[in-house]
Amino acid sequence: MADALYLEDLHVGQTFTTGSVTVTAEAIKAFARDYDPQPFHLDEAAAEASLFGGLAASGWHTAALSMRLLVDGLPIAGGLIGVGGETTWPRPTRPGDVLTVHIEVTEITPSKSRSDRGMVRTRNETRNQHGEPVQISNLGIVAWRRPVA
């Protein structure tokens, strides 16, 4: 993994690409059983007859997998602490999809009240193996200034 990134190491327009994860039908169903137990996330035949036209991952599964890719691929010093953001799912994640997150730093705001940190906004596009976005998120994360040696 690359060196940990401090606030000073980041700039607007900077991009990162994470590793990838392959999504299986079993993983889609396992997540759905725990967190989103609806027929189109649990059962191929029921999913065929639904709006999705086939088994589709819960959007929250796509979000969780994207977070996993970000944690492994964006080495912010002190960890990746999100304060929230906006998430949309332009198309579903399907069994066999290989997901990668493309990150762009869109805004950096040093904290006015706490001189040791700042807020970094990132635009994160989770794309499948065809380059199509399955999730677009705008996530605010905390970044720390490099400690004085």
* Member of 50, 106, 121, 123 binding a second copy (CB under 8 A): 50
Q: E strands of the chain, at which residues?
A: 15-22, 82-88, 98-110, 117-127, 133-144
How far apart CA 74 and CA 89 sit, in angstroms, is 21
Stretch of 7-15, 51-59, 94-102, 103-111 lying at the interface with a second copy (CB under 8 A): 51-59
Cα-Cα end-to-end distance for the chain: 23
Q: Is the Cβ–Cβ distance between 74 and 67 less than 8 Å?
A: no
How many residues interact with a second copy (rule CB under 8 A)? 32
Stretch of 1-9, 12-20, 53-61, 124-132 lying at the interface with a second copy (CB under 8 A): 53-61
How far apart CA 7 and CA 11 sit, in angstroms, is 8
Restricting to residues 67-126, name those near a second copy by CB under 8 A: 67-68, 71, 78-89
CB 148 to a second copy: min, Å: 19
Question: Residue 54: which residues within 8 A CB-CB, separation 6 or more?
Answer: 44, 47, 48, 94
* Member of 15, 35, 98, 132 binding a second copy (CB under 8 A): 35
- Residue 113 has a CB neighbour count (10 Å cut-off) of 5
Q: Considering beta carbons, is residue 25 or 81 the nearer one to a second copy? A: 81
Binding of a second copy at residue 37 (CB under 8 A)?
yes
Binding residues for a second copy, per CB under 8 A? 31, 34-40, 50-51, 58-60, 63-65, 67-68, 71, 78-89, 142
